[in-house]
Structure 1
Amino acid sequence: MAHRLESLVIRHTHRISSPQGSAGEGATVARQFDAALASVGFKLSAELLERLSGLSEDAVAYTAQRTLRVVSEMLGDHVRHNTYFIDFPANVPDTEEFWMRCVTQALGDAASRENVLTQLKHGVLDLLSLPTYGRYQHTYEEMLAAQGELIASAGDRVTVLHLGRDLDDELTDLYLALAGSTTPLGEDHLRDLKTLAAHRALGPQPETIPVRENRALVNEARLGVGAGLLLDTVTDVLRLACALSGGDVTLQEPTRFRALSRPVRRGLLAGLDAVVAANPAKLADVHAHREAFKRLGERLHPHEYPRWPHAADVFAVARGEKEARSFDSRVGKLLDASDVIGAVTLLKSAPGKLFRTLDLLLRTAADQEERDAVTAAAVEVAPEVSGRVVLSVREHFHNRERESDELRIFVNRRGRAWVTPDTRSPVPAADRDRLIAALDAETRRRLPAPGRLLLDPEVLEVALPLSGRATASGFGVLPRGSVSEVDGELLRFFVYWKETATRTDYDLSALLLNSDYSTDSWLSYTVLEAAGGEHSGDVTEAPDGASEFINLPLDQLRATFVVPQVNIFTGEGFEETEESFFGFMLRDAEQKGRPFEPRTVRMKSELRGVGRVALPLVFQRGEDGRWRAKWLHLYLKGISEANRVEENQVSVSKAVRALVERRQLTLGYLIDLMSRDTTVTDLWDGERVPGEPVTYIGLERPEGLHPDSRVITLENLSDLIPA
C-alpha cells in the first residue's frame, strides 16, 4: 500500500516525496538513478539529486526502484512492444504482396493447405485462417536485435521530477486538491480519491466539496470511521449508496445495490430524513432517479424505522404513492404556456438551472422586453452560480455566433460522441454579446490578482479543464479542445492492448483528410504503406499483450489533417480489456531506435471509453505549414465487430470537423481576465526564473522557482477555475 500511495504522488504531482533513510554517501547511486531516468525521458531536479546524494546507497536504490517502475507505467514502457514486421519501419511490404506471401506459406503447410485451397475455390479468403497472419513470427528479443540504437536528439522530451515534502504531507495536499476540486474528476482520479479518502477521512478536509461525486466518495470513507456525513440533497444519499455498492457515483450507469449492514442502513436513512426534514421541497429531486431510489428502498427497508418518516417519504415519491412536483416540470409548464417571464422568475431561485436554460429562454422570448428580462436575471444571479457553469455557458455562447448549418457535437461523460446538424434558431447578436460581456465581468471579479506572472507561452491554447472527464488519464494529456505544437519530423502512433478473457483484435489506423475534411488516404492493416508512412502490421490477438504502430514523416504529407484512430475489430471493449492505451512519439528524421522509445513519448492516454472507435486527437497543418495537435478524447459507437477506417471515414470526418471548428475557452482567455493593470507578466524562456515569488502557469514546473511561488501545471490546471 505504501508504494501505491507514493506512486499517486509521483503520477499526480511529478514530485518524489522526501526520501527517507540513513545518511550516507549515495551520490554515485543517485547519478546512476538519474541516468536510468534519462533513458525514459525523465531527470532529477538539482534539489532532489542533492537530497538523494546525502542518503545511504541502499536508501537511494530503494527510491530508484520504486520511482522507475512508476514512470515506466506512466509512459507505457512497463510492457513489451513487439511489431509484426521485425524491422519496422524499414522493409514494410506492399499489402497485397504480403498477403500473397502468407497464402504461399499456408499452401506449403500440410495442416492448412486443404482449408486454404477450399477458400480460394470459393473466391473468398479469411486472412485469420492463414497460420502466419496476425501472430508474431519472432520474439521480442529478436525484434530488438534487428533494430538500431536511438540517436540522442536535443528534441527528446525531458520531464523533471522534483523534491516533495514528507509523504504524509504530500498525500494530505493531494487529497484536499482532489476532494475539493471545482470540476468533476475522471474515473481514474475518482479511484485515486477513493484510495486517499480511506486514509484521510479523519484528517484535514476541504472547506467545501462542490462536486457531488467527490462528496459521495468522501462520505463513504467518513461513514466507515463514524464521522458525520456531508449531505444536503437526497441525491447525495443515493450517490453514497452507489459508492458503498461499488457502483457508479456519477449515476450514469445503474448500480446493483448490495445487501447493507444494519448500521449502514440506519446511517443512510437518518441522512435522508434529515435532508427532507430541513427542506421538504428536496423530495422533488427523487424524480430524476426514481428507479434507482426504488431499488435502494428494497435494500434499506425504511418501514422498519418509523422514527425517520421523512426518509420513508422519499421512497413513497419514487413509487408514485406521494406527490412531489419537480422543479423542472413547473418550469416546463410555464414555457409550454410561453410564459417566459414566469419561467425566469421561478428559475432565479435555482441559479444553476437558469444558466443552463439561458439559450432556450432567449430563443423562446417573444420580444426584446422578454430577452432583456432573461439577461437581467442572469446578471443578477451570476454571483451565485459556480465558476465552472459560468465558464461553460460563456463557451456555449462563444460558439453561437456560427451559422445555423454548422454541425453540433455532443459528448457524454464517458467520451461517447455523436454529431447532428445545428437546427436551433439563432440568438440575437446584441443579446448574446451583452450576456458574454456580463459573464466575462463575473469571471474577472472572481479571479485573484496573480501578482508577478511567469507564463509558459505553450499553455495559452490549452482548453479550460471544465471537467476532468474531458481529459483521458495518462501522461502529457491535455483537455479536450486543447491545441499544442508538434515539433518533430517523424510522427509515430502506438496502441497496446492485452485481452482479459476472449480473443481481441484492435486495429490502429490513420485517416488523412484534406482541408475540406474529404478523405485523402489512410493507413491501416489493409493499406500498410501510404503518404510516405508505414504500418507495423496487423496483430489479431493479445493474450500476452500486443502493439501496433504507424510511422508518418510530417514533411511529406499533402493532407491537412491526420486522424489516428483505434478500431475494435473483434473482442473486448476498451473498458473490458486488462489494459489498453494509445500514444504518440516524435522523432527527428535521422533518429533510429526501437519502435517504442520511452524518451520520445509525448503523450500516452488510457483507452477506457464507451464505443468501438477511439479518436484520441487530430493533427492539423496550419497555413504557416506547422503541425499542431487538437485533443479530441472521443469514442464513436461504431458497429459490433469489424470496424475499419474504410467504413467509418464519414462519421469520423464529421466528428473531427465538429470539434476542430468548435472554439474552446482557453487558459489564454482566463489569463487575459486575470491580468490587472498592476500585473507584471514575463514569458518564461525555458532557462531563467525570477528570484522572487511568482504565479507560474505552464505545462511543467521549471527548476529554481521561489518556494513561495504559486505553481499551475497540467497536474492542477483545475485550480484556475474559480469556485
Structure 2
Amino acid sequence: MTPGQGISYQHRIAWLAELAQMGYRVTNPELISQADPSFFQNYRTWMQELASLKGGHVKYVPLFSRFPEGVPDQFTHFKKRLIGYLANFWHVSADGRPQPGWVPDWLFNAQDFGADPITQLQHDELYEQALKAQASRQRDTHIEWTYLTLALAPDWSAALQKWMQSLLYAKAPIKAAWHADLTTLLDFYGVADLEANRLVHKENKAWVMRYAWQKGQYEQVLHLGSNATDVLRMFAALTGSDVSLSEPIRFPKLTRAQRRCVMQMLDQAPELAEDLMRYRALWRTVARYLHPGEFASKYPHVANTFRALHQGKLQTLNSKIENLLAEADLFAIRKDPTWGPLNLNAR
C-alpha cells in the first residue's frame, strides 16, 4: 500500500467485514489508517483475485442434493448407474435415434441430483436447480481462516522477498499451490541473492535450479548447485521425475551450452567420484546425453572420471584407502594428498 492520509473508518470496517466473509483476516489492520485512499482504486479486481484463491469464483453444487443426509448406498447407486447406462444405450426417440443423457424416472429422481446421476456430468437444468437450493441453505459456520499481512511501500518489496526466501529456505517442501506465486517473485527478484547453502531441502533446491535452468541463467545454476547429486535432482525436477532419486528418472535433451554448464558444475563439485558411484546407473545414462569426452581438454578431471566409471575402474577415496590397507601400505596412505587426516607431509 502507498502511504497517505489514511482510509476512513467506514471504508475500513466494510472492507474487513467483506474479507472476513471470504475467510480472510488481516494481521495488522492498524496499517490501513496509514494508507492512501487510492488503495481502493482496483478494489474489485484484487477482491476477485482473493476470492479465486479461496475457490469463491466458482459456484459449487453437490452431486446429491440432499447431502449429507441423503447420500445413497454406494453399491446400490453404482448398480443403478450401470442400469442407466444400458437404458441410455437402448433408448431411442420417436424418430429411431438414440437419446444419450436420458434419465429414466423409474430409476432416478433427477431432482435429487445436481448433475446427471448416470454420467455425473454437468446438466444445466439440474445445476441451476441445485444453485437455488444451495442459496436457501444455512451457511457453514466453520471457517478456514487465511491471514493477510499488509505492508506500506517501499516496505512491501522487502516483505515479499523475505516471504519468498522463508519458503525456499524452509526444511519442508514448497506446496505446489505456491509455485506460481514464487515463480512470479523469482522473475522480479531473481535468484542471485539466494544463499545456496540455505536451500537445505533437496526438493526446494531442485525446484529453484530448475527455474534458473529454464530461464537460461546457467551462471545462477552454477551458483546454486553444490555437488553432482544436485545436477541429478535438477534433471528430475525438469522432467517431472522423482527428485529423491529413489526411482529411475528421465533426462532432458541438452544443448551444447547446457552440457558445458553441467561439465563446469561437475568440475567444481567436491567428491565427484563418490557422487558418481552413489548413482552410477543414472550417471551412465547422463554420459550418453552429456558426451563428456568432447570437453576433455577443458575439464579433464570430469572426462577422466566418467571414463573410469564407464570402464568400471572408478576409485573413490574410500576404495583407495581400503586397497592400500589391504596391501598394508600405510606409507602410501600417509603421503596421499587426498587423505588429509593421515597426510603428515601436509602438516
Q: CA deviation at 1:217?
A: 4.0
Among 308, 325, 340, the residue aligned to 2:299: 308
Conservation of the 8 A alpha-carbon contact between 1:40 and 1:72: no
Q: Which residue type is aligned with residue 224 of structure 1? A: Q
Structure with higher RCO (Cα < 8 A, 6+ apart): 1
Alignment-derived partner of residue 150 in structure 1: 138
Q: CA deviation at 1:200?
A: 2.8
Alignment-derived partner of residue 271 in structure 1: 265
Counterpart-to-counterpart distance in 2, 1:97 and 1:299: 53
Q: CA deviation at 1:143?
A: 0.9
Conservation of the 8 A alpha-carbon contact between 1:237 and 1:268: yes
Task: Judging by fraction of residues, say which structure has more helix.
Answer: 2
Conservation of the 8 A alpha-carbon contact between 2:7 and 2:33: no
Instruction: Name the CA shift for 1:238/1:85 in 2 (closer, same or farther; >3 Å).
Output: closer
Alignment-derived partner of residue 64 in structure 2: 85
Q: CA deviation at 1:308?
A: 0.7
Among 43, 52, 56, the residue aligned to 2:25: 43
Counterpart-to-counterpart distance in 2, 1:22 and 1:323: 67
Cα offsets for 1:598-630 (capped at 9, x unmatched): xxxxxxxxxxxxxxxxxxxxxxxxxxxxxxxxx
Among 217, 220, 237, the residue aligned to 1:224: 217
Task: Tell me the TM-score normalized by structure 1.
Answer: 0.34
Counterpart-to-counterpart distance in 2, 1:93 and 1:219: 50
SS in 2 for 1:39: helix
Among 165, 182, 188, the residue aligned to 2:171: 182
Conservation of the 8 A alpha-carbon contact between 2:263 and 2:299: yes
Kindly report which structure 2 residues correspond to 1:166-181, keeping only aligned pairs within 5 A, or say none: 166-181=155-170
Task: Tell me the TM-score normalized by structure 2.
Answer: 0.63
Cα offsets for 1:303-332 (capped at 9, x unmatched): 11122112113423443443235969x99x
Conservation of the 8 A alpha-carbon contact between 1:86 and 1:143: yes
Q: Which residue type is aligned with residue 260 of structure 1? A: L
Alignment-derived partner of residue 161 in structure 1: 148
Q: Larger Rg: 1 or 2?
A: 2
Counterpart-to-counterpart distance in 2, 1:106 and 1:263: 59
Counterpart-to-counterpart distance in 1, 2:163 and 2:90: 62
Kindly report which structure 2 residues correspond to 1:132-143, keeping only aligned pairs within 5 A, or say none: 132-135=117-120, 136=122, 138-143=125-130
- Name structure 2 gaps, 5 residues minimum: 97-106, 108-115, 323-338, 340-347
Q: Which residue type is aligned with residue 270 of structure 1? A: Q
Cα offsets for 1:559-601 (capped at 9, x unmatched): xxxxxxxxxxxxxxxxxxxxxxxxxxxxxxxxxxxxxxxxxxx
Kindly report which structure 2 residues correspond to 1:566-577, keeping only aligned pairs within 5 A, or say none: none
Alignment-derived partner of residue 42 in structure 2: 62
Counterpart-to-counterpart distance in 2, 1:234 and 1:157: 43
Counterpart-to-counterpart distance in 1, 2:229 and 2:206: 10
Among 266, 273, 285, the residue aligned to 1:295: 285
Q: Which residue type is aligned with residue 66 of structure 1? A: W
Q: CA deviation at 1:224?
A: 0.3
Alignment-derived partner of residue 255 in structure 2: 261
SS in 1 for 2:148: strand
Identity of aligned residues (%): 25
Q: CA deviation at 1:29?
A: 4.6
Counterpart-to-counterpart distance in 2, 1:170 and 1:48: 16
Task: Tell me how large the CA RMSD over aligned residues is.
Answer: 4.5
Conservation of the 8 A alpha-carbon contact between 1:283 and 1:314: yes
Conservation of the 8 A alpha-carbon contact between 1:259 and 1:299: yes
Q: Which residue type is aligned with residue 150 of structure 1? A: Q
Conservation of the 8 A alpha-carbon contact between 1:181 and 1:210: yes
Q: CA deviation at 1:233?
A: 2.5
Conservation of the 8 A alpha-carbon contact between 2:4 and 2:34: no
Counterpart-to-counterpart distance in 2, 1:186 and 1:152: 27
Alignment-derived partner of residue 450 in structure 1: none
Q: Which residue type is aligned with residue 133 of structure 1? A: I
